[in-house]
Structure 1
Amino acid sequence: MEKVTPFLMFQDGKAEEAMNFYTSLIEDSRIIEIVRYGANEAGEEGTVMAAKFTLKGQEFMCIDSNVKHQFSFTPSFSIYVTCDTEEELDNVYQQLKEGGQELMPLDDYGFSKKFGWINDRFRVSWQLDLPK
């Protein structure tokens, strides 16, 4: 086994927009590679056939699915981010919150100094933590 990589499947042509947003939000992150559908291929021309990006060194893969499924992202699988400062946590949370849905608003829930859980505008779930 070479490695394990989280894989995000977008159904609405938003994979590239999501990657750009995530890599701009989290420092030390970048898009590694994007392969796009061409003319007369299975997906809509120009959308993401396969892509790789990193968030703080963690590699992810994503696609724009050309098949419509009866499912999407679920909060039971989330991207967990440990923040260094309250300012960093607040900033990332507020940006993810725009167009998204709060699952657990920022607060002290007893297990950390400050914590929040949110689905972003792409429906990807994030847990943001500021340890005690």
Structure 2
Amino acid sequence: MTTVQPFLMFSGQAEEAMRFYVDTFDQAEINELHKYGMGQSGKEGTVQQGVFSIHGQTILCMDSTLDQPFTFTPSFSLFITCDQESELNRVFDSLSEGGEILMPMDHYPFSKKFGWVNDRFGVSWQLSL
């Protein structure tokens, strides 16, 4: 085994999600973006393979070529630790816009400030100071 990386499968929104995450987080970038072309197995223009990174953590993604009977679940989430409260608040506000707040930003026994949100794409994020 050489690596373990998160992998996100979208239903036609992978590029939009990648660009949203890169805009939301500091030190984030799209590393690779390969799209399906005409006559390939996926819908033309959707993401065949996407790679982006947030603070050095590589995340893979794609748009499914099939309609799937499932989507994201909060039982798997990306956990982000922020050094600055202002960054934590900014990221939480951005990710929760159009999404669903699972645990509001607050003080909890396990963190002086923590929030949990499903973003507008259904991806679950836990954010801690």
Instruction: Name the residue aligned to 2:123.
Output: 124
**Once superposed, which parts of structure 1, at least 4 consecutive aligned residues long, lie more than 4 Å away?**
none
CA distance in 1, matches of 2:96, 2:58: 23
Q: TM-score, normalising length from structure 2?
A: 0.97
Unmatched 5+ stretches in structure 2: none
Counting aligned pairs with the same residue, the percent is 54
The CA deviation string for residues 19-43 of structure 1, in whole angstroms up to 9 with x for no partner, is 0111111111111111110001111
Q: Which amino acid aligns with 2:8?
A: L
Instruction: Name the residue aligned to 1:65.
Output: 64
CA distance in 2, matches of 1:35, 1:128: 30
Unmatched 5+ stretches in structure 1: none
Q: How big is the shift at 1:120?
A: 0.1
CA distance in 1, matches of 2:5, 2:98: 27
The CA deviation string for residues 85-121 of structure 1, in whole angstroms up to 9 with x for no partner, is 1111111001111110010001101211110000000
CA distance in 1, matches of 2:55, 2:16: 18
CA distance in 2, matches of 1:21, 1:54: 12
Instruction: Name the residue aligned to 1:93.
Output: 92
The CA deviation string for residues 36-83 of structure 1, in whole angstroms up to 9 with x for no partner, is 100011111111001111111000100010111111111011010001
CA distance in 1, matches of 2:3, 2:109: 34
Q: TM-score, normalising length from structure 1?
A: 0.95
1:103 aligned onto 2:64: no
Q: Which amino acid aligns with 1:90?
A: N
